[in-house]
Amino acid sequence: MTEKRILLIVTGGIAAYKALELVRLLKRQGIAVRAVMTQSATEFVTPLSMGVMTEDQVYGDMFDLKEEREIGHIQLSRQADLIVICPATANILAKMAAGIADDLATTILLATDKPVLAVPAMNVRMWQHPATRRNLAQLKADGVTVMDPDEGAMACGEFGPGRLPEPPAVAERICAMLGHGFDATLTAGRASTSAPAALESQPDFADITHRPLFSKRIMVTAGPTYEAIDPVRYIANRSSGRQGFAIAAAAAEMGAEVTLIAGPVHLVTPPGVIRIDVENALEMQAEVEKALPTDVAILVAAVADWRAADVPQQKIKKDGKGIPPLILTENPDILASLAAHKQRPKLLIGFAAETEKIIEHATAKLAKKGCDWIVANDVSGDVMGGDNNAFHVVTRNGVESWPDSPKDVIARKLMEKIADEIA
Ligand code: CTP
C-alpha cells in the first residue's frame, strides 16, 4: 500500500496548538503530513514546533521564491491525497466560500482538485453567526467536508458549540476519508517520531519552552549574492552558504524563531526555519528590512560589494567593436544600514572573511560597521565550501579564538554564546 499523504493547513485560532497533537497521531497511523501555516497561525504555534512534528519544512509564504519555483502551491496540493484545515477559523471559511486567494493557504484551497476536510474551531457566537452559517452551507454545496465542532467550555470563557474536536476524533475522521485503517491503540502515549539529533537530548522535544532561545527572533543571512551583468551572466563569489545554514539550524534547535535569508545556494532548509530566497544584494536588503524587528541578526552572507551599474534587457553580444566596459556601482552595506536602523536588533553580528591580518581587519570592521560582534574567519584555505571553520569572535571586550571545528559544531558554540549574551 502506498503511503497516504495529507496537506494540513493550520489557521490562527487558540486551538492551533492541537494541530501538533494531530500531526503526532497521524504519523503514528502511518500517514505523512506536510504543513502549511497561515501568518496568524504562527502567532499561536511556532513553525519550529510544527517542523519538528512533521519532520519537514513548514510552508507559509506565498512569495517565497524557492517554494514557488520548486514546490509551488499546485504541487503542494498535487502531492496530497487529502487537504485538512485544522483548526479552520471563521475567517478562512469565509475566504474559501468567497473564493478569495490572498495567501498560500487560500491559494492552495482555490486551486486544488483534492478532497478537502475543514475542522472549524471558533467562539460560539462566531459559529452561530448567520454569515458563518451561510459560508458553511456554501462550502458543503461546493463539496467540502465539514467536521462539526464539539460543544463545551471554550478558551474564551463561553459555553456552546465551537470547540475543536479532540485530535484522536479528527485523526479517525481523516483515516476514514483516506480509506486508511485507524488503530485506536496507537493514539495513546508519546510520539515515535524521531527528533533531529540535537533535540534528542532535550527532556521532551515537543516542549520547546525550556530551550535557551525560546521566543527569541533571530535573522540570519547566508550564501553569496548574484549580481546580474545581463540576462545570462552574473558576478558571484565562492560562498557555499553552509556556515549560515548551520547557524540557522542551531538557532532553531535552541528554540528561536528563525528567518533565514539565503542567496542562491543548493542547501536543504533546516527544520523549523523560515527561509526566504533572494538573488542579489538589493533583494537581500529588502528582505532583511521586512524581517525586522528581531532580537538578533547574524549576517553571514557574502554580499557582493558591487553590482553592474546598468543591466541591459538583452544579452550583450560580441559585436566586433571590442570588449564592452563593465561599469560597477556600490551595493548598500546591509550590516552597516542595520546598525543605524531605528529597529536595530539588540545583538547585531557581522562576519568577516579575511585572508590576512585577521584580528586587525575584524577589529577595524567592528568599528566601521557599527555592529556588536564580528566573527572573523580565515578564508585563505578551503573554508568556502569546506566542512570546517575556525572563528575569532571579536567584541568590544576582546577576542575569543575557537579552534577549527565542523561547521555545525562551531555554529552551536556561537549560538550558545549568543544565548548567554541575550539571556
Ligand atoms: N555585508 C553586508 N552588506 C554588504 C557587504 C557586506 O551586510 N554590502 C556584511 C556581510 O554579511 C558580513 C560583513 O558585512 O557580515 C562583512 O563583510 P565583508 O565583505 O568582509 O566586508 P567588507 O565591508 O566588504 O570589507 P572588505 O571586502 O574590504 O573585506
pLDDT in tens, 232-260: 999 999 899 999 999 999 998 888 989 99
How do 116-120 and 32-37 pair as beta strands? unpaired
**DSSP run (H or E) holding 373:** strand 373-378
Pocket test for ligand 1, best of 226, 261, 303 (most atoms within 8 A of CB): 303
CA 14 to chain centroid, in Å, comes to 21
Q: In this predicted structure, what is the pLDDT of residue 400?
A: 94
Q: How far is the CA of 396 from the centre of ligand 1 (A)?
A: 19
Annotated active-site positions, please?
156
Q: How far is the CA of 304 from the centre of ligand 1 (A)?
A: 8
Helices (H), 265-381: 281-291, 334-339, 358-369
Q: Whose CA is nearest to atom 16 of ligand 1?
A: 352
Nearest Cα to Cα of residue 94 among 144, 59, 60: 144
Q: How far is the CA of 17 from the centre of ligand 1 (A)?
A: 41
Q: In this predicted structure, what is the pLDDT of residue 212?
A: 84
**Calpha distance 375→43 (Å, rounded):** 32
> Are both 5-186 and 208-422 of the same fold?
yes
Q: Tell which atom from ligand 1 comes closest to the C-alpha of 351.
A: 15
Q: Whose CA is nearest to atom 21 of ligand 1?
A: 352
CA 159 to chain centroid, in Å, comes to 36
- Percentage helix, strand, coil for the chain under 3-state DSSP, each rounded to 5: 35, 25, 40
Interhelix angle 407-422/242-253, nearest 10 degrees: 50
User: Which ranges of the chain have pLDDT less than 70?
Assistant: 1, 62-71, 152-158, 187-210, 381-385
Whether omega before 293 lies within 30 degrees of 0, making that bond cis, reads yes
**Calpha distance 388→242 (Å, rounded):** 10
CA distances from 284 to 120, 219, 298 (A): 38, 12, 13
Q: In this predicted structure, what is the pLDDT of residue 203?
A: 33
Q: How far is the CA of 305 from the centre of ligand 1 (A)?
A: 7
**Calpha distance 189→21 (Å, rounded):** 11
**Calpha distance 100→93 (Å, rounded):** 10
- Domain residue ranges of the chain, discontinuous segments joined by +: 5-186, 208-422
SS3 call for 104: helix
Q: How far is the CA of 249 from the centre of ligand 1 (A)?
A: 22
136-141-142-148 Cα dihedral, nearest 10 degrees: 40
CA distances from 163 to 15, 21, 114, 254 (A): 8, 15, 26, 32
Q: Tell which atom from ligand 1 comes closest to the C-alpha of 334.
A: 7
Q: In this predicted structure, what is the pLDDT of residue 65?
A: 42
Number of other CB atoms surrounding residue 386 within 10 Å: 15
Q: What letter would DSSP give residue 385?
A: T
Q: How far is the CA of 127 from the centre of ligand 1 (A)?
A: 54
Ligand 1, CB cutoff 6 Å, lining residues: 221, 281, 299, 301, 303, 305, 331, 333-335, 350-353
Domain 208-422, second-level architecture: 3-Layer(aba) Sandwich (3.40)
What is the DSSP code string of 99-119?
T---SHHHHHHHH--S-EEEE
Whole-structure pTM value: 0.58
Class for domain 5-186, per CATH? alpha beta
Pocket test for ligand 1, best of 237, 285, 333 (most atoms within 8 A of CB): 333
Q: In this predicted structure, what is the pLDDT of residue 153?
A: 61
Q: In this predicted structure, what is the pLDDT of residue 71?
A: 57
Percent of the chain with pLDDT over 90: 64
For residue 224, the one-letter residue type is P
Pocket test for ligand 1, best of 368, 369, 374, 391 (most atoms within 8 A of CB): 369
| Residue with grid cell 532535550, as numbered in its chain | 202
